[in-house]
Amino acid sequence: MARNKITIIGAGNVGASCALWLAPMNLGDIVLKDIPAAGTMPAGKALDLLQCGPIMGYDSRIIGTTDYGPTEGSDVIVFTGGFPRKPGMSREDLVAKNEEVVVDVMNEVKRTSPNAVVIMVTNPLDTMAYVAYKTSGFARNHIMGQAGILDSARFRTFIAEELNVSVNSVQAFTIGGHGDEMVPLVRSATVGGVPLTKALSKARLDAIVERTRKGGGEVVQLLGTSAYYAPGAASAQMVEAILNDRKLIVPVAAYLDGEYGLKDMYFGVMAKLGRNGVEEIIEVDLDAEERAALDKSVELIRGTMGALVQVKPA
């Protein structure tokens, strides 16, 4: 039986962290792919990870490359490549530069791995997932974005810290866009089955929601660069759910065609992940306040999509 193949586009911090989390799962072969200018760096990181196998007890085969040949026939592709936003760079500049990267890569992906499920991590996340979908021509369920799992993990972490409980006792999710426009679902969050609204005061809840929305920025301020351990772990969880056909319900950026009254865009929603990618979108009942926050998130994402150059929304 053929082994699964997982390709990670971009061997930087997020991509390498994703490989680090994936390797012990023994899901299949891992390919770290980067641009030719990266030289031997992907091969070096792959070899280092490969040599962890005897210590950590895994048999995942890991290679690094700057060529698409070794990625051929990938089952899942995690897309972490692209440009970070730098001082002086506008949102439109970032969108245009990363759009170009995504278009170029997806044209190669549809040639070499036409049956792959693609997980977009490159920012602006929802917009880049849309570019990947439109460029590839893949089925909508085979292109998705990773942000909601990461944002939900931050939300759950801050709740657990506040209440001094295990994170496993906290059930809480975010939907919507990534960043300030996310929508933490406070009303449905629970701690040990107890509604979060009964466990914490509104003032503390509001503070946790705000910290969650600023979670990425807090890491940047402390670290001097974007987060990578948690984004890598979130991406790995999605890969595992797909390859093991887990039917795992988590927040992902999915293409909407009428859900929540939205069309022709990628947006963070609760979805069931399995071997066929996004197998079902679960619509959550929203109150007026949550719907207003969702609509604001939609407006911000539509604005970002308006900066696309090559792929124009309908």
8 Å CB contact between 256 and 305: no
Of 163, 185, 162, 130, nearest to 301 (Cα)? 130
The reply to whether 178 belongs to the active site is yes
Pairing of strands 117-120, 194-195: unpaired
Compute how many other C-beta atoms are within 10 angstroms of the C-beta atom of residue 202.
9
Q: What are the distances in angstroms from CA 151 to CA 89, 161, 173, 231?
A: 24, 15, 8, 9
Q: Which of 45, 142, 156, 178 is catalytic?
A: 178
User: In this structure, what DSSP letter does residue 142 have?
Assistant: G
Asked if the bond preceding 124 is cis, omega within 30° of 0, the reply is yes
8 Å CB contact between 45 and 75: no
8 Å CB contact between 117 and 278: no
In which order are the strands placed within the sheet that holds 190-191? 170-171, 190-191, 194-195
Instruction: Give the H/E segment covering residue 108.
Output: helix 91-112
Instruction: Please tell me whether residue 274 adopts helix, strand or coil conformation.
Output: strand
User: Cα dihedral sign for 158, 159, 162, 166?
Assistant: negative
Compute how many other C-beta atoms are within 10 angstroms of the C-beta atom of residue 258.
8
Catalytically active residues are 178
